[in-house]
Structure 1
Amino acid sequence: MKVHLIGVGGAAMGNLAAMLKQTGHNVSGSDQDLYPPMSDRLKEWKIDARPFRAASVKNKDLVIVGNAISRGNVELEEALRLGLPITSMAAALQQFFLKGRKVIVVAGTHGKTTTTFLIDYLLSRKALTGGVARVTKKAKRSADLPGLFAGGVRADGHPGFRIPGKNNPYFVIEGDEYDTAFFDKASKFLHYRPHHLILTSVEYDHADIFSDLNHYKQAFRILLRWIPSNGTLIPCMSDAGVSDVCRDYGFSDVLGYGKKALSHAKRSGKEVRFILKDAAGKEDLNFSCSPALIGSHNTKNATAASLVARRCGLTEKQIIQGLENFPGVVRRQQIRARNSMESLIFMEDFAHHPTAAKETLLAVRQAYPGFRIIALYEPRSATSHRNVFATEYVDALQSADLVLLPDVFNRKKVPSDQRLDVKKIVVELNRKGRSAKFCKDPGGVFQALKQDLNSRSKSSKSESERTMILAMSNGGFGGIYSQIDGLVSDF
């Protein structure tokens, strides 16, 4: 089949193009701008990707449209004029890869990518040797690995997608609640038909798509309707939004987790004790291990992943080995640089929602006791550059010792009466006794950081002081990360 993807430069669309290519389709794609790393990957995968032009869609059997593409796009208009079959990325995933599989969907406001990768890592342990071998070349040769589609890259380089082996019934996918396409404004995850559904959290997000919290919750309520009677709902019942969404659910087994639920976990230093129970409330597993991921939020993610793993037949030993050897995810609590004495560390995280920022800061505080924490936060996402969470951001960031904030990304995209006032957040943090500074742009953040580090290095306490720089953004933070890498490494 000749398949053309409009908007192939996005991570998800590019990965879908690769999967289609691997299954024997003739694949091409286009985008307005193609940048590394996806432009490099498309070349590596031998996928013809060009700027938009009407001629690109001619003689195609199917056109897949990314959710960033709207009417007026020259290729879309030509495909409509020619009467070509048009579908969305989410629908194409269902059509080509999910149909006939037991789909494990990870949905929720926070923790989707990490939990998706972790579940896949656990299931892959079973599919390989049952041991701790890394999923590398051996995994690529295996016919028994589950399918995977996640919105990120694993820290050991796994690209976040995999065609399922012919002998493996499972497909693990990150369930995005964002809208599907110009012709389908429902959430993407409604196309995935979960057999097992993990619901990590439900807090208001995507203010550009959902009018309010109830509108947001309704998307998840509809998702629950897709779980078959022989499937499983695995909700984090310590989350108020999840509890509300799942209140009247009763069509399949429910394996709740969290402080108020049957299954739970408790961390003591690096060690975590997991108590997993079955749908009848009977204790199934009770074990301790030292998971690779830090923070209470990741302890919950690990609990959810362990419950799914048990549902899929993994042993206690396989789960422990997977939790302790999981390499993590790029841009999730990822250490980018450190100086030779390890007294200065630079960590990057994808956190942009205030709850995610708060949980990440608390996790770092717990994992690095005694460190002075400098938080760099970029208000960039469609929700975070609006004033809907102004109060919550003050609460989220006040656990840092120093907060450096640039102005909102792309100010013109948000009306002034809806735009987040970053200066007010800085004033409020200072009023609460926290040190915070407003910077006009990311470049100003870097200069303020450099000035702070240099001034403190001259003080009498500098030899004993240890500092963690935690940068949080769902974008590139103005390209300053490479500058911080160099600053930290040479300090």
Structure 2
Amino acid sequence: MIHFIGIKGSGMASLAEIVADLGETVTGSDIDKYIFTQKPLEERNIPIYPFDPKNIQENSTVIIGNAFGEDHPEVKQARSMPSVTCYRYHEYLGKLVGDYTSISVAGTHGKTTTTGLLAHVMQQIAPSGYLIGDGTGEMPKDSRYFVLESCEYQRHFLAYHPDYAIITNIELDHVDYYRDIEDYISAFEEFANQVKKGVVLFGDEENTRSLNLHVNHLFYGLHDQNDVQARNVVENSEGTSYDVYLHDSFFGSFKLPFVGKPFLWNSLGTIAVGIMEGISAEQLQDALASFPGVKRRFNIEVNGDNVYIDDYAHHPTAVRLTIEAARTRFPDKKLIAVFKPDRYSRIFYFMDEFAKAFDEADEVYLCHFPKNAAKEAGIDITIQDLADRMENVRVIQEDEEAASELAKRGPAVYLFMSSKDIYKFKNIVKSFQ
């Protein structure tokens, strides 16, 4: 039996689904509050219990979510039992990587979408498993490939030694752990150099270009110095088309049903991995064109004259690019941005960048920090500190009164952005329209 402490976490849920698909008996524990990640767990009949040391059974394997300290009652119980084998989430995942032709997706932004996109493509080529940071995972028993989202937080991705990797970008984040951008870059450099067969990297930025690489690699992007380059890009409300050149030689033409620079970059990184694996342009085009998207990444709902977009954006660069994509997709509509912060340190460190990122929205509504957000030492801010740096902004509660007022601001594109549960507030706003 394998027990997951914190099974509703997005990565933990994905891993639990994979382990269950491999035929293991899986149980888990977590808080009682409903979280969207639990649906695929329930579909697999995986029991989810409230936290209790009694959940830990003799002769079992316990996988500990990285959000839980050694003082957690279940963790303490598991560590105290000689017959129980314990792994942290990333440790167990690193063990699993070696069983397949594995492809890690790392980077500050775009990991989840790129992992979903790449997993979708590889499934069209051969049986493939995947672990996506939106709470979904799957592992057919005859899988050849394993595509996994790989997080750099606390250098956890150094537990993985994959065959291939994508590095989507490198822009300082997790400032509660990394000292500075040099420390952050060093983690990616170490990760890249432990990849076995080859790395593809976004080549349109300085930080990825600065890596000292000792492994086979390709740079991808729009600039001329890239090994895999997109040219003749056409983007409109219907989608994106472009030609791909490999070392200045034409590789193929692609037409894809999504918009925004992040999707363009992510698809190009996927194509670059496909090139390393010898996949034809025609196979890549067919697979990319049928990509349905992933949870909480620019998910669009239309209700009459109103549009609701749910996105995971929680870093200023991601916020800016998501707003740009919404403008491209719906150029003639009012754009209302609704944002809920996650970490105090992230808002504190990037305060001015966040304020500027919201400039292109017509109206901005800021929600308060979650009640369980950890206040890092030396940081004493509220969401009002961010609002004070902006125009056309209001700070609101996530309640029916605020939702009713927001609903009256339509018709509009309502862009909800957060790594937290902003989608619940979106549903309340929808109920008033």
Query: Does the 8 Å contact 1:406/1:445 carry over to 2?
Result: no
* Alignment match, 1:111: 110
1:251 paired with 2:215, answer yes
Alignment partners' CA distance in 2, 1:400 and 1:63: 46
SS of equivalent to 2:360: coil
* Alignment match, 2:18: 19
In structure 2, which of residues 190, 196, 212 is the aligned counterpart of residue 222 of structure 1?
A: 190
In structure 2, which of residues 232, 238, 241 is the aligned counterpart of residue 272 of structure 1?
A: 241
* Alignment match, 1:347: 309
Alignment partners' CA distance in 2, 1:25 and 1:91: 18
Query: Does the 8 Å contact 2:102/2:146 carry over to 1?
Result: yes
Query: Does the 8 Å contact 2:97/2:162 carry over to 1?
Result: no
SS of equivalent to 2:270: helix
In structure 2, which of residues 398, 406, 412 is the aligned counterpart of residue 467 of structure 1?
A: 412
Query: Does the 8 Å contact 2:252/2:282 carry over to 1?
Result: no
1:163 paired with 2:139, answer yes
SS of equivalent to 1:480: helix
Alignment partners' CA distance in 2, 1:250 and 1:258: 24
Query: Does the 8 Å contact 1:407/1:438 carry over to 2?
Result: yes
Q: Unpaired runs of 5+ in structure 2? A: none
* Alignment match, 2:432: 487
Alignment partners' CA distance in 2, 1:325 and 1:163: 20
* Alignment match, 1:360: 322
Q: Deviations over 1:131-166 (max 9, x none)?
A: xxxxxxxxxxxxxx112111116xxxxxx3221553
Alignment partners' CA distance in 2, 1:449 and 1:45: 38
SS of equivalent to 1:251: coil
What percentage of aligned pairs have identical amino acids?
A: 24
* Alignment match, 1:462: none
Code of the residue aligned with 1:62 in structure 2: it is T
In structure 2, which of residues 163, 166, 170 is the aligned counterpart of residue 198 of structure 1?
A: 166
Q: Offset of 1:34 from its aligned partner?
A: 5.5
Structure possessing the higher radius of gyration over alpha carbons: 1
Alignment partners' CA distance in 2, 1:243 and 1:442: 46
Q: Offset of 1:206 from its aligned partner?
A: 1.6
Alignment partners' CA distance in 2, 1:37 and 1:439: 24
Query: Does the 8 Å contact 2:367/2:398 carry over to 1?
Result: yes
1:380 paired with 2:342, answer yes
Residues 48 and 437 of structure 1, relative CA distance in 2, 3 Å threshold: closer
Residues 398 and 349 of structure 1, relative CA distance in 2, 3 Å threshold: same
Q: Where do 1:3-402 residues align within 5 Å? A: 3-33=2-32, 35-83=34-82, 84-95=84-95, 97-127=96-126, 145-152=127-134, 160-166=136-142, 168-179=143-154, 187-228=155-196, 231-244=197-210, 246=211, 248-259=212-223, 260-266=225-231, 267-268=233-234, 269=236, 270-277=239-246, 281=247, 283=249, 285-289=251-255, 291-339=256-304, 343-381=305-343, 383-384=345-346, 386-402=347-363
* Alignment match, 1:403: 364
Q: Which moved more, 1:414-423 or 1:235-244?
A: 414-423
* Alignment match, 1:183: none
Residues 164 and 94 of structure 1, relative CA distance in 2, 3 Å threshold: farther
Q: Deviations over 1:366-390 (max 9, x none)?
A: 2211221111111124544x31111
Alignment partners' CA distance in 2, 1:169 and 1:282: 31
Q: Deviations over 1:109-139 (max 9, x none)?
A: 1001111111111122223xxxxxxxxxxxx
Query: Does the 8 Å contact 2:176/2:376 carry over to 1?
Result: no
Alignment partners' CA distance in 2, 1:288 and 1:21: 36
Q: Offset of 1:399 from its aligned partner?
A: 0.4
Code of the residue aligned with 1:254 in structure 2: it is L
Q: Offset of 1:448 from its aligned partner?
A: 3.8
Alignment partners' CA distance in 2, 1:479 and 1:314: 40
Alignment partners' CA distance in 1, 2:279 and 2:80: 51
Code of the residue aligned with 2:88 in structure 1: it is S
Q: Deviations over 1:23-63 (max 9, x none)?
A: 23232222243634444543432333322222322313322
Q: Deviations over 1:303-335 (max 9, x none)?
A: 001111222232222211222221111211111
Alignment partners' CA distance in 2, 1:162 and 1:422: 38
Alignment partners' CA distance in 1, 2:254 and 2:22: 41
Q: Offset of 1:416 from its aligned partner?
A: 9.0
Q: Offset of 1:301 from its aligned partner?
A: 0.6
Q: Which moved more, 1:105-114 or 1:34-43?
A: 34-43
TM-score w.r.t. structure 2 length? 0.90
Query: Does the 8 Å contact 1:164/1:171 carry over to 2?
Result: no
Q: Offset of 1:67 from its aligned partner?
A: 0.7
Alignment partners' CA distance in 1, 2:169 and 2:354: 18
Code of the residue aligned with 1:261 in structure 2: it is N
Code of the residue aligned with 1:418 in structure 2: it is I
